[in-house]
Structure 1
Amino acid sequence: MKDWPLLIETTQLAEALHDPKLLILDTSSAANYAEHHIPGAVHIAPSELQCGVKPAVGKLPSVDTLNALFSKVGLSPDKHVIAYDDEGGGWAGRLIWTLDAIGHRNYSYLDGGLHAWLQGGHPTEKVANHPAPTEQNITIDSLPIAEIEDFISMLDNSQLAIWDARSPEEYRGEKVLAQRGGHIPGAINLDWLELIDRDRQMRLKDLSGLQARLNELGITADKTVITHCQTHHRSGLSYLLMKILGYPHIKGYHGSWGEWGNSETTPIETGSNAKSSAQKP
Structure 2
Amino acid sequence: MPETPLVDPAWLADHRDDPSVHIVDVRDSWEYDSIGHLPGAVNIPFDSYRDADSSDPGTLPGADAFARLLGEAGIGPDDTIVAYDDTHGVFAARLLVTALAYGHENVALLDGDFSSWQRAFETTTESPTVESVTYVIDGLAATAPIVDRAAVAAAIDDETVTLLDTRDEAEYEEQHIPGAIRIDWREFVDDESRGVRSAAEIESLLTDRGISTDRNQRIILYCNTSRRLSHTFVVLRSLGFTDVVIYEGSMTDWTAVGGATESLV
With normalisation by structure 1, the TM-score equals: 0.85
Look up the match of 1:207: 199
**Which stretch shifts more, 210-219 or 78-87?**
210-219
Cα deviation 1:193-232 (Å, max 9, x = unaligned): 11111111x1111121102211332433332111111111
**Residues 213-224 of structure 1 correspond to what in structure 2 (within 5 A)?**
213-220=205-212, 221-224=215-218
Aligned residues: 259
Segments of structure 1 that go 5 or more residues without pairing to the other structure are 174-181, 273-281
Question: Residues 5 and 57 (structure 1 numbering): CA distance in 2 closer, same or farther, change over 3 Å?
Answer: closer
Look up the match of 1:186: 179
**Residues 218-233 of structure 1 correspond to what in structure 2 (within 5 A)?**
218-220=210-212, 221-233=215-227
Look up the match of 2:152: 151
Look up the match of 1:86: 86
Q: Over the residues paired in the alignment, what is the CA RMSD in angstroms?
A: 2.1
Q: Does 1:270 align with 2:263?
A: yes
Cα deviation 1:136-157 (Å, max 9, x = unaligned): 2213125401211232133110
Question: Residues 203 and 71 (structure 1 numbering): CA distance in 2 closer, same or farther, change over 3 Å?
Answer: same
Aligned partner of 2:105: which letter? R
Aligned partner of 1:17: which letter? R
* Secondary structure, aligned partner of 1:115: helix
1:245 to 218, 239, 249: 239
> Aligned equivalents of 1:268 and 1:4: distance in 2?
39
**Residues 101-140 of structure 1 correspond to what in structure 2 (within 5 A)?**
101-120=101-120, 122-129=121-128, 131-138=130-137, 139-140=139-140
With normalisation by structure 2, the TM-score equals: 0.90
Identity of aligned residues (%): 28
* Secondary structure, aligned partner of 1:66: helix
> Aligned equivalents of 2:94 and 2:254: distance in 1?
19
> Aligned equivalents of 2:78 and 2:250: distance in 1?
32
Q: Answer yes or no: is the 8 Å Cα contact 2:21–2:79 preserved in 1.
A: yes
Aligned partner of 1:126: which letter? T
Q: Answer yes or no: is the 8 Å Cα contact 2:220–2:246 preserved in 1.
A: yes
> Aligned equivalents of 1:45 and 1:102: distance in 2?
18
* Secondary structure, aligned partner of 2:23: strand
> Aligned equivalents of 2:149 and 2:129: distance in 1?
37
> Aligned equivalents of 1:70 and 1:3: distance in 2?
20
> Aligned equivalents of 1:195 and 1:136: distance in 2?
34
**Residues 156-175 of structure 1 correspond to what in structure 2 (within 5 A)?**
156-173=157-174
TM-fit CA distance, 1:57:
9.3
Look up the match of 1:277: none
Look up the match of 1:39: 39
> Aligned equivalents of 1:24 and 1:188: distance in 2?
34
Look up the match of 1:235: 229
> Aligned equivalents of 1:219 and 1:129: distance in 2?
44
> Aligned equivalents of 1:219 and 1:48: distance in 2?
35
TM-fit CA distance, 1:123:
1.6
TM-fit CA distance, 1:39:
0.8
Question: Residues 196 and 3 (structure 1 numbering): CA distance in 2 closer, same or farther, change over 3 Å?
Answer: closer
Segments of structure 2 that go 5 or more residues without pairing to the other structure are none
Q: Answer yes or no: is the 8 Å Cα contact 1:97–1:252 preserved in 2.
A: no
Aligned partner of 1:206: which letter? S
Q: Answer yes or no: is the 8 Å Cα contact 2:27–2:46 preserved in 1.
A: yes
